Amino acid sequence: MTSQNPEAIAPEPDQKSKAKPKTKPDKYLTHNQANAYASPWSMRDRVVLLLWHTCWTVFCSWTPKPLNPWRLIWLRLFGAQINGNPFVHQRARIQIPWHLILHDRASLGDRTNAYALGIIELKAKATVAQEVYLCTGTHDFADPDIPLMTAKITIGSDAFIGARAFIMPGVTIGDRAVIGACAVVTKDMPAHKICTGHPCRVLRDRPNSRQLDSNTKKVTAIEPES
């Protein structure tokens, strides 16, 4: 088990990246592989990952929703950065827990797939609905060895990712953005927007949130933070 900082897990580009012409933006990290069939992960990483998936299956995958604190304990044990009180569904799949950063009230829903070959960060109150796929990995297909390439996915504060959406590597979803169901997000989406489609595109502004004043019983809009 490890408690390393997720940002420190990924190898440094000058140590692990191949000295070849870049075919992806700088935000991508190219992992060193001997050939197309070799693993980019060390033997130690693979052993810990085997232990992680075994522990999650045995100790967490069957637990009811109220046992969320128990599941967070196991995520912390395997190096996830947990801030505040996020929620992780028992049927969520997390590939590499020490690449996961969860902030207060963030939520990973039923059967979400956090394919965290690179870093995945969910900021405060971000919601990832059922069966969403957060994919941080791809390959350099211009290289005969097709090495693994990873890039961080960031889901902004109070953003909502609809069911079965697919988020590509390196994408940042802005604060309070809404991504429609089954959308394929190939680039950054701006804050305070409703977006959907294949590929995903901006449709319109997201309405301001509303709250009920307990004294006057009037509903007022909450202006989003800039």
Determine, yes or no, domain membership for 197.
yes
Q: How do residues 176-210 score in pLDDT, each as one tens digit?
A: 999 999 999 999 999 999 999 999 999 999 988 76
Q: How far, in Å, CA of 62 to CA of 149, rounded?
A: 33
CA 23 vs. chain centroid, Å, equals 23
Sheet containing 29-30: give its strands across: 29-30, 148-150, 137-139
User: Which amino acid, one-letter code, is at 26?
Assistant: D
Determine, yes or no, domain membership for 29.
yes
Assign residue 194 the CATH number of its domain: 2.160.10.10
Determine, yes or no, domain membership for 201.
yes
Contact 154, 187 (CB under 8 A): no
Position 5 scores a pLDDT of 47
Domains held by the chain: number: 1
Q: Which residue has the tokens 């069939």?
A: 37
Range of the domain at 70: 6-222
Which of 146, 145, 150 lies closest to 134, judged by CA? 150
Determine, yes or no, domain membership for 94.
yes
Determine, yes or no, domain membership for 1.
no
Q: How far, in Å, CA of 80 to CA of 100, rounded?
A: 5
Determine, yes or no, domain membership for 170.
yes
Least confident of 34-48, 120-134, 188-202: 34-48
Contact 81, 62 (CB under 8 A): no
pLDDT interval class at 83 (50, 70, 90): very high
Contact 200, 174 (CB under 8 A): no
